[in-house]
Structure 1
Amino acid sequence: MPEVAVPGSLADPLAAFFDHLASETRHSQRTCDSYQRDLNRFAVWLNQHQYHQWQAPNSHDVRRYVADLTRQGLSGRSIARHLSAIRRFYRFLVREKLATDNPALDIRAPKSGRRLPKVADVDQVNHLLDSLPDDPLEIRDVCMFELIYSSGLRLSELAALDLDSVDLRGSQVRVQGKGGKERDLPVGRKAVAAIRAWLPVRSGMASDAEQALFVSQRGDRLSHRSIQSRLSRWGLVKGADQRLHPHMLRHSFASHMLESSGDLRAVQELLGHADIATTQVYTHLDFQHLAQVYDKSHPRARRRRYDGGSDKDAQNHE
């Protein structure tokens, strides 16, 4: 949304609130910027609807605002964030005696359909990982991608790996997940071979003092952005039919493991999810796959086509 000047009667209380966020509650700049964008948008909307004081709108008006955001295509999560900012702002206004009540108090955002993570199919992953590297950096890249897919690592977990995180003899890796929780994960045969190929190359890039497993050409720890960029580049060079990112490999690991084993608890442990409900999203992915197979295969589900006949003719024959 383009920046629009907020009228003075609405702007002054906003300025006081933003100062309160920055100085009294010591919110981060990123959080303050988010509040400012969302509340400025609401202030412009109020001004357009002839509300020039913050105490003027009621709960019905906030519902109208939510309806407008929905029509503009905002997700339920984004609208919930807007409402949270409005509620927080009105708590401040009530405290400062600039408003008598909070019109957003009982308003809830519409529910969004849960977005399923994108995954690559097994054949595509095999094609990408079996492609031969052309230079030392690609040897490193293949090693990283093999390890993400082999052990279901998060991007942050991969980037944080040190030399002593990997036990090649035991074929396992120790990672530090969310909340500082460590977990030991198995490493597949192909990933072990990729690490063995990378280590001699790494020794020519990094100093003895550098402990990072994955380093840049300069010899320092590889950044998150660099890993993302290298995977995206690898997909383009090797002909992937969708944009690749590290979490897609992690999601693919989870989906393929669950599809083969059906063991949700084991996949939860491997992924490092504190709540099994987080892991259950992959059961929906697996069901989608099964539903596609069913639609294509079941004699009472698939649509028959007759040579020379239209779709309507085929339906009549069924």
Structure 2
Amino acid sequence: MTAPPASAIDGFLAMLAAERGAAANTLAAYRSDLLGAQEQVGPLAQADAAAIGTLTSAWADLSPASFARKCSALRQFYLFLVDEGQRSDDPTTALPRPATRRPLPRILDHAEIARLFDRAETEATAGTMQGVRMLALLEMLYGSGLRATELVSLPLSAVPRDAPFVTVTGKGSRQRMVPVSTRARHALTAWLAVRPADTRHLFPGRSGSAAGHLTRIRLYQLIRELAARADIDPQRVSPHVLRHAFATHLLEGGADLRVLQTLLGHADIATTQIYTHVDAARLVALVNERHPLAGGSHSP
């Protein structure tokens, strides 16, 4: 069977390289796994759950580690297609899913966030369009906890002129109202004054861009370039890391978990509860400081 054009696979690999800094060997392994699956079921971008389910028997002789790796490659590929709006479903539900512990999210501490903002504010003060845009992007990522895709695809109409909210369309096409801080509103106002006027998106892409808006990959690049200029390891910083920092720092400040779930757009509060683990050090300190027996001995 002649392999069809691998444009969807190429787009996925480009995302891995830009957003996650995947090494050449890692990209080659993903490409091999995805092209091998494509030889079995046909074009992956169009494959349904029934076709993907046949891979379980096709890979039956593989070691558990190899099988898990191939399943992981497919799941990440289809998550990418869903995020990009190229599919509305994930056919890998037909594959067995090993029980794994969800890793804790990476975050930046308050001092590192301050350094990012200091650098962005200095560059925005210079008055360049790129500097003003960068500060607005940073304010929306850390100040409102938006996902990268949610942010870059925001239409101009999502930002009302008379209310401190933006209307965000998240996963599953679910809409939610996200509060915008006073700082972020000032940054957005400055950006609206200089942004190109001939586009419907809040953050336009290059002229002639198919998406019409800043791409997610370019957003990752901009954030990491800013981190480098702020003397922070770029590999530790991404839009999603800023979203995690937003959630963790709100929880540290006393935010209710249900409120955090709404702000983040999580369908299941179990997803939000991951941040209670990140905040464990603060809880231990709280018990040591506030418990009735803290600092004293217990006499029978």
The residue type equivalent to 1:222 in the other structure is L
Aligned to 1:238: 230
Give the Cα–Cα distance (whole angstroms) in 2 for the partners of residues 262 and 226 of structure 1.
32
Read off the aligned partner of 2:154 and give its amino acid letter.
L
Alpha-carbon distance, 1:164 to partner: 1.2
Q: Hey, what's the Cα distance between the residues in 2 that align with 1:266 and 1:294? A: 23
Q: CA deviation at 1:198?
A: 0.9
User: Aligned in 2, Cα 1:215/1:261: closer, same or farther, shift over 3 Å?
Assistant: same
Alignment of 1:188-227 (within 5 A): 188-202=181-195, 206-208=196-198, 210-216=199-205, 218=207, 220-227=212-219
How many residue pairs match? The answer is: 227
Deviations 1:189-246 (A, max 9, x none): 11111111111220xxx243x1110124538411111111100100001112453110
Select which of 235, 247, 264 maps to 1:271.
264
Alignment-derived partner of residue 71 in structure 2: 81
- Which residue of structure 2 aligns with residue 122 of structure 1? 110
2:178 match: secondary structure:
strand
Corresponding residue for residue 9 of structure 2 = none
Query: Residues 150-229 of structure 1: matches in 2 within 5 Å?
Result: 150-202=143-195, 206-208=196-198, 210-216=199-205, 218=207, 220-229=212-221
Q: Which 4+ stretches in 1 moved above 6 angstroms?
A: 17-20, 292-295
TM-score by length of 1: 0.60
Bigger relative contact order (CA 8 A; separation at least 6): 2
Structure 1 alignment gaps of length 5 or more: 4-14, 46-64, 86-106, 302-318
Q: Percent identity?
A: 33
What is the distance in 2 between the residues matched to 1:246 and 1:217? Answer: 20
CA contact (8 A) 2:206 2:213 kept: no
| In structure 1, C-alpha distance between the alignment counterparts of 2:155 and 2:273, rounded to whole Å | 31
Alpha-carbon separation, structure 2, partners of 1:142 and 1:262: 25
Counterpart-to-counterpart distance in 2, 1:108 and 1:163: 40
Q: Distance in 2 between matches of 1:222 and 1:284?
A: 33
Match of 1:21 among 34, 41, 49: 41
The unaligned stretches of length 5 or more in structure 2 are 1-24, 30-35, 76-95, 295-300
CA distance in 2, matches of 1:182, 1:146: 20
Which amino acid in the other structure matches residue 68 of structure 2? S
- Structure 1 residues 294 and 274: CA distance shift in structure 2, 3 A: same
